[in-house]
Amino acid sequence: QVQLEESGGGLVQAGESLRLSCAASGRTFTIYRMGWFRQAPGKEREFVAAGRWSGSSAYYGDSVKGRFTMSRDNAKNTLYLQMNSLQPEDTAVYYCVADPSSSDPWRYWGQGTQVTVSS
């Protein structure tokens, strides 16, 4: 099993930045991919960013491209999401996710961290 714990959420104003962290523990050597999803009240869960845990690249959802950047620190088993130019529509609970293979997508989820952007 892999455990994921997010941190770094909070309340910011439009245009400001925030960085989320996700600490992975447990059988981290089994991780294939890690990423982020978000869910706003009354809306469906939305893909934000993801990439191979051993790699350096990432792919992003259309709504965050050019504003959000995902990075990893493999030595610390930590995933980051740098969020710039935040807008009220970015308000959501952000979840860190991981999976052991593409055939078992997003098997592991963190508890989520709230990001609120005021206008």
Can you give the pLDDT of all 119 residues of the chain as single tens digits? 999 999 999 999 999 999 999 999 999 999 999 999 999 999 999 999 999 999 889 999 999 999 999 999 999 999 999 999 999 999 999 999 999 998 999 999 999 999 999 99
d(CA 59, CA 41) in angstroms, rounded, equals 24
Q: Which residues contact 8 (CB under 8 A, 6 or more apart)?
A: 18, 19, 20, 21, 113
